[in-house]
Amino acid sequence: MERRPAPQISAEHTDPGLRPIGVVAYDDGLVRDALIAQCAAVLIASSYKLGGVVQSNPHREGRRRCDMYVKDLLCGDEVKISLDRGNEARGCRLDQDAFARIDAWIERAVLEHVDLVVINKFGREEAHGRGLRAVIAEALIADIPLLIGVSTQNLGDFLAFAGDSATRLKPDIETMTAWCRNAIERRAHDRCEPGLPSVGA
């Protein structure tokens, strides 16, 4: 599937006071996935409408590496993104066809104007200008806040892409959940009273 180019994130859509992206930087991907999934579950239990994906990493006996699944938060569909290439396989083991579905899931969430888009990982594909960059930009242009996990290795590339639209969050559930609630409620307030000036966080 050919990826469309990412729209430019212009200053018109990135008021530095609003900081529409919450970034969770991490070294351990398993911890990242667990935290983001837990945060999403708390928000859904509070009746917020979420889109995007969370990842789970179940371990099978006899395998050195976990399987990897992502779940669509909007409709509950799940897809396996890791290829079973055996214990001795090296190199990338991601199913690129699965990423076309993830891209479509997030794009649908943007079109349905969810309260928050969750993207568990801004990875190497995104750092190199591919992957989910286009739908991340589309969510920002649609004024939908995002919660994104970014490895410390790719943090510089992400910040170069996002500019002043990102706030780095402490990787704990209380901080993440509080930021998400504030971002959702602030957006709802601004949409109800479009004539009022925005107040910086």
Span of 6-15, 40-49, 155-164, 191-200 with lowest mean pLDDT: 6-15
Buried/exposed 138-162: b ≥16 CB within 10 Å, e otherwise: bbbbeebbbbbbbbeebbebbbebb
pLDDT at position 27 is 85
pLDDT digits (tens, 9 = 90+) for 75-104: 999 988 876 655 555 544 566 777 788 889
- Please work out, in degrees rounded to the nearest 5, the angle formed at the alpha carbon of residue 84 by the alpha carbons of 79 and 90: 125
The CA distance from 121 to 115, in Å, is: 19
pLDDT digits (tens, 9 = 90+) for 115-133: 999 999 998 888 888 888 8
More confident residue, 93 or 14: 93
pLDDT at position 63 is 63
Grouping H, G, I as helix, E, B as strand and the rest as coil, residue 147 is: strand
Share of the chain above pLDDT 70, in %: 77
Residue 44 has pLDDT above 50, yes or no: yes
Domains recognised in the chain with CATH numbers? 21-58+65-165+172-189 (3.40.50.300)
